[in-house]
A and B are shown apart, each in its own frame.
Chain A
Amino acid sequence: MAEELVRMEHISKFYGRVQALRDITVGVRYQEIVGLLGDNGAGKSTLIKILSGVVQATSGEIFLHGRKADIRTTTDAIACGIETIYQDSALVPQLSITRNLFLGREPIKGFRLFNRMDHALMDQAARALLLQVGVIKDIPPATAISALSGGERQAVAIARALYFDSELIILDEPTNNLGVAETRSVLNFVRNARDTGHSCILIAHNIHHVFQVVDRIVVLRHGTVVADDVDPRKTSIEEVERIITGPDAAEPAESSRGTNRGLE
C-alpha cells in the first residue's frame, strides 16, 4: 500500500493566460491533517478545486492510494472519497438539514423508476449524525439551513463528510466569519475526523487556527510550493509567516511577473 492517500504530481493550471499553479507536487498521508497556507491568490483554492473536480488541471496527475485517478467532475471526486467543504457554497440554504446531507446521493426506496427518496432512512441518519456532531444536537433535522448559524452550517457540512465516510475531507477557509466557540468546534471536528481515520486538507488565513490542529503545513506562493514539510510543533508562527510572504525585499523580477496575483 502506498504511504500516501493522495498525491498530486506536477500540477499546473492556467486560467486563460493567467498561470495559477506551476508544477505543484504535494501529497497527503493517511490520517494526516495538512494545513495549506498562502497569501491571497497563491493558488490554494485552485489546487483543492482540482482535487475535488470543480476545475481541471492543465497538466499533471493525481494518484489515490498510489493508483492514478481520473478526476474530471465533482461526481468523480465524491466517488473517489474526496469531500470538499466550502465556506459559503457548501449547502443549499432553502433545503432542510436532512435534504442537504443527502443531496446528490439520495437513498432511493422501492421501484427505482419512481425515484422516491427514503425519507425515513434519511431522517433517522440525520438525527443520529446531529447527535454525533454535538453542537447542533437540539436542532431538528427538518430545519432549513437558512435558519442555522455559520458554525452550525459548517457542522452540517462536516457531518456530511463523516457520514459518507470520505477518505479525504477538504476544508477551504471553514473558520471564516466564525466566533470563538464555533471555530473551536470546527477545529474539533477536523481533529475528530483524523482520529476516526480520515485525512484532511485545511485552508485558513488564520495561522493560529491552523497551528492548533494540523500535522504538517504546506505553503504556496505565486502558484508554487515553497515549503511542504513544515512541522507546526517545531516551527514558530513568525517563521511560517515569513515563508508565506517570501523574502522581504521581494525581487522585482517576481513582483513584476505578478500575473498570477489575485484579481480580488
Chain B
Amino acid sequence: MLKLVKVEAGSPLPVRRPSRLLRLLARPEVGPLILLVLELSAFGTIRPLYLSPFNISNVLDFTVELGLIALPTTLLMIAGEFDLSVGSVFGFSAVLMWTLFNSGATSLGLAFVITLAVAGGIGLINGWFVTQVKVSSFLVTLGTLLVVRGAALYLTQGFPQRTWSAAGSRLAAVLAGEIHIGRFHIYMSLFWFIAAAIVLHYVLAETKTGNWIQAAGGNPSSALARGVNVGRTKMVLFVLTAMMAAASGIISSIRTSAANPNSGTGYELEVIAMVVIGGTALTGGRGTIIGTVLGIFILRSMHSGLVMIGVPGLAYEIFVGAIILAMVALQAWLDRRQQAEG
C-alpha cells in the first residue's frame, strides 16, 4: 500500500503537497468506499428490507467465502500474477475432503489436512511453472483450472458428495458453525474472513514481505537487483491463494451441506473483479486489502440488491461489468491527476 505518510509540522522539510482533497481522493480505497455507501443507501431506500438483519446475514454467508479467496488473490495480483484456478480448487477441495471422509479412508480432520496439503501442492505447481518455467500465470492457471476441475469431476464421476455426516463435528463447527447474535445469524467463516483480512493487511502494509510483494509486481528486475527473492515471494502467494480457495470451498460445502464437483465455476473472474474494483492494479505493484474488502462487499451486496428490487439474477453480470469499467476509468483518471500534481 502506498501510504501517504504525514510529515509533522515543523519538520525540516518544506513539503510539496497536493491539495488535501486530492490526496484523500487519491487513496485507492476512497472510490470503492463511496460506491459501496451509494449502493447500500440506494438499495436500502428502494427496499428497506435490504438492510434488515436477515438479509445482511444472508448476504454475508457467501460473501465471506468468496472473500477468503479474494484476499490472498489481492496479494498475488499486487505481485503481478493471476490465479484462474481458484474456482476449480474451490470445487475440487470440497469433493476431495468429503470423498476421503465418506469412503471411510480417513477421519474428517485428517481429510481436511490432506485436502489443504493437496491444494498447497496445486499452488506449488502454479508457482513453479510461473517462476521456474517462466510461463505467464494466465496460461499456467488456465491449465490448472481445467486439470483440477477435471479431477473433481473424475473423482466423483460427476455426482455430488454427501456432507451431512459432518453434523456435530468439531471441525465443521469451528470452520462454518452457525451463531445467532440477536436477530443476526452468522457463520464462523465471518471471523475467519476478518482474521484473514487483518493478517494480510498487516503483511502487505507493515512487513518486509509486503514490501517485497509490491516490489515484485512493480518492477521485478529492480527488485531482483536489490536482492529481493521475487520467485519465492510469488511461490508463497500461489500456495496461499490455493490453500485459502480450498478452505473456502470446504467451508462453503459445510454451510450448504453440498459438495458438488461443479461448484466454484466462474468464481475466478468474480474474485478478480472484486480485487480490481478494490483498486488493485491489474498490472501489479499497487493495491490494498481494504480496497479488496470494499470490492467484495460492493459486488455481493449489489447481487443481493438487484435480486431484491426484482432485477433478474441473470442480469447481474451486466452490472458487474459496468462497475468494473467505471472503477477502472476512475482509477486511470486519479492516476493522471496525481501525476499532473505530483
Residues on A lying within 8 angstroms of B by beta carbon are: 52, 54, 73-75, 78, 84, 86, 89-96, 98-99, 102-106, 108, 114-117, 119, 123, 127, 130-131, 137-144, 146-147
Report, nearest first, the 10 A-B pairs whose CB atoms are least far apart. Answer: A147-B342, A104-B226, A142-B5, A75-B227, A92-B218, A94-B285, A104-B227, A115-B207, A94-B218, A106-B208
16 example contacts (A-B, Cβ-Cβ < 8 A) are as follows: A86-B225, A89-B221, A90-B222, A96-B3, A96-B5, A99-B215, A103-B226, A104-B227, A108-B208, A116-B208, A117-B207, A117-B208, A119-B206, A131-B13, A139-B16, A144-B2
B225 touches A74 (CB 8 A): yes
Contacts of B17 in A (CB 8 A): 140
Q: Pick the most buried of B7, B15, B219, B226: most chain A CB atoms within 10 A of its CB.
A: B226
Contacts of B14 in A (CB 8 A): 138
B215 CB contact (under 8 Å) in A92, A117, A140: A92
* Closest residue on chain A to residue B14 by CB atoms: A138
The verdict on A90 contacting B211 (CB below 8 Å), with A117-B206, A147-B338 known, is no
A91 touches B222 (CB 8 A): yes
A94 touches B208 (CB 8 A): no
Bound-state CA distance A155–B226 (Å) is 17
Contacts of A117 in B (CB 8 A): 206-208, 211
- Beyond the given pairs A93-B285, A103-B228, A138-B15, 13 more chain A to chain B contacts, judged by CB atoms under 8 angstroms and listed by A's residue number, are A54-B225, A78-B227, A84-B225, A86-B222, A92-B223, A93-B219, A99-B214, A104-B223, A104-B228, A105-B226, A106-B208, A115-B209, A142-B4
B215 touches A74 (CB 8 A): no
Min CB gap A236→B, angstroms: 36
A140 CB contact (under 8 Å) in B7, B212, B222: B7
* Closest residue on chain B to residue A49 by CB atoms: B225
Min CB gap A237→B, angstroms: 32
Contacts of B212 in A (CB 8 A): 103
Bound-state CA distance A181–B218 (Å) is 29
Contacts of A96 in B (CB 8 A): 2-3, 5
A116 touches B206 (CB 8 A): yes
Min CB gap A64→B, angstroms: 17
A140 touches B2 (CB 8 A): no
B224 CB contact (under 8 Å) in A74, A131, A138: A74
The verdict on A147 contacting B211 (CB below 8 Å), with A73-B227, A104-B226 known, is no
* Closest residue on chain A to residue B6 by CB atoms: A142
Bound-state CA distance A207–B212 (Å) is 37
Q: Pick the most buried of B12, B203, B215, B281: most chain A CB atoms within 10 A of its CB.
A: B215
Min CB gap B130→A, angstroms: 20
Bound-state CA distance A114–B224 (Å) is 23
Bound-state CA distance A99–B207 (Å) is 11
